[in-house]
């Protein structure tokens, strides 16, 4: 079965600093999803990547999928307190019928 490893497990950054979260898969990624979760709230969809080498950006968040489709990174530029939360990467199964999630990365942004 597919396993996703996220690193780091937790991260504390000073406001304004850049940061990167990584997601590594034990198998080829057919669809890689990034979600954000604030405490006590649901999952907010950020981005989905499918093709090797693909890169997407939304506001100050950029996600990339490597050419081999086994690793993805999420980069936040000039972090703000509103970026704080849990970031989860999820991989779609080969048959497109379920998501397998990484353990999540807890991000705290200090003002």
Partner 1 sequence: DTAVSQTPKYLVTQMGNDKSIKCEQNLGHDTMYWYKQDSKKFLKIMFSYNNKELIINETVPNRFSPKSPDKAHLNLHINSLELGDSAVYFCASSQELPPRFVRYGYRHGYTFGSGTRLTVV
Q: Where does this chain bind partner 1 (CB under 8 A)? A: 30-31, 33, 35, 37, 40-43, 45, 48, 50-51, 86, 88, 90, 92, 95-101, 103-104, 106
Nearest CB to partner 1, comparing residues 1 and 14: 1
> Least distance to partner 1 from the beta carbon of 73, Å?
19
**Triad 103, 106, 111: Cα angle to 5°:** 170
Phi/psi region, residue 104 (left: phi>0; alpha: psi -120 to 50; beta: rest), is: left
Radius of gyration of the chain (CA): 13
CA distance 68 to 46: 22
Nearest CB to partner 1, comparing residues 15 and 67: 67
> Least distance to partner 1 from the beta carbon of 110, Å?
21
Question: Residue 40 has which token pair?
Answer: 């006590």
Nearest CB to partner 1, comparing residues 15 and 41: 41
């Amino acid at each position: 079965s597919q396993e996703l490893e996220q690193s780091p497990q937790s991260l504390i950054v000073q406001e304004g600093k850049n940061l990167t979260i990584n997601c590594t898969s034990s198998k080829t990624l057919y669809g890689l999803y990034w979600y954000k979760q604030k405490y006590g709230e649901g999952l907010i969809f950020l981005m989905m990547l499918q093709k090797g080498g693909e890169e997407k950006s939304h506001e100050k968040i950029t996600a990339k999928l490597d050419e081999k489709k086994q690793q993805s990174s999420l980069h936040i530029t000039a972090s703000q307190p509103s970026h704080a939360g849990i970031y989860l990467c999820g991989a779609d199964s080969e048959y497109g019928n379920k998501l397998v999630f990484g353990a999540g990365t807890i991000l705290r942004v200090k003002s």
